[in-house]
Structure 1
Amino acid sequence: MEAFLPHLQTFYKKFPYTLVNNNERHYQAVLYTILLILGCDVTPEMPTSDGRIDMVLKTKRSIYVMELKYKKDTEVAMEQIDCKDYLAAFADDSRKKYKVGINFSEDRRSIDDWKVEALA
C-alpha cells in the first residue's frame, strides 16, 4: 500500500481538472475503478453494524480498510475507522489487517496525505 499510494497520487495529479467533480465520491469512484481494472478484490461502501466502510481491499494475505476524506485530514479518517470499529467485521479472518486513511485536497485535486497502520 505504501508503494502504491505515491503512484495513485501522481495519477490523480494527471487527471484533467475539467473532469474532476471535486468531492469525496468522485475520488472514491476513480480509486474503485482503478482497483477493479487491476483485478483486485475490492468492495466500496461496505456496510457494517455501525456505518459503511468507504472501501475494503482484500489480497491473499491482507485486508485494507480504507476511509477516504475530502478537505479534512488522515487523522479524521483513522479516527472514524477506530470509532466505528470497522475492523471488527474481519475479526474471524486470519489475514493481516491494515487501516488506511486518505485525504483529498480541494486545491490540488489529488491526494493530500495518507496514513497506513498495520494492526498487531
Structure 2
Amino acid sequence: NQCENYYETVTHVIFRQTGFSVVSEFQSIAGRSDIVVTTKDSVFIFELKMDKGRGFEEVAGEALEQIDAGGYADRFAVSGKQMYKGGVVFSSDAKGLCGWKVK
C-alpha cells in the first residue's frame, strides 16, 4: 500500500505538470478514485494497483471493476465529456509500471 501511495503521488504530479486539472482521492458515494484528470473534452478516471505477484490482466481488471462498483464515473455522466476509465498496474518486484488497461 505504501508503494501504491507513492505511485499515486508521482502520477498526480506528472499530470499536474502538464497543466491538466487533477484531483487525487476523488470522493464518490461508494469510495474514492485514485486520480481524476479532466480536460476540456474528456474525463480520465484512474485506479492504481500494485500487482503483489498477481498477473497483469487480473489486477487491471480488478481496478476497472472497482471504478464501476464505486460509481466513480457517475458524477461526470451529465458533463457531456468523453469518459475513460484506466486500471494502472505497478510491479511489486520490479518497482515500476507494468501497464494499463483502458475501458
Normalising by the smaller structure, the TM-score range is 0.7 to 0.9
Q: Aligned pair count?
A: 97
Equivalent position of 2:56 in the other structure: none
- Any stretches of 5+ residues in structure 2 without a counterpart? 53-58
Per the normalisation by structure 1, the TM-score is: 0.76
Equivalent position of 2:36 in the other structure: 56
Equivalent position of 2:55 in the other structure: none
Residues 83-109 of structure 1 show CA distances to partners (whole Å, capped at 9, x for unaligned) of 112111112101000111001001111
Secondary structure of 1:106 counterpart: coil
Q: CA deviation at 1:60?
A: 1.0
Return the letter of the residue paired with 2:35. M
Equivalent position of 1:3 in the other structure: none
Q: Does 1:82 align with 2:68?
A: yes
Greater C-alpha radius of gyration:
1
Return the letter of the residue paired with 2:70. K
Q: Does 1:26 align with 2:26?
A: no
Secondary structure of 1:81 counterpart: helix
Q: Alpha carbon RMSD of aligned pairs, Å?
A: 1.5
Structure 1 stretches of 4+ moved >4 Å: none
- Any stretches of 5+ residues in structure 1 without a counterpart? 1-21
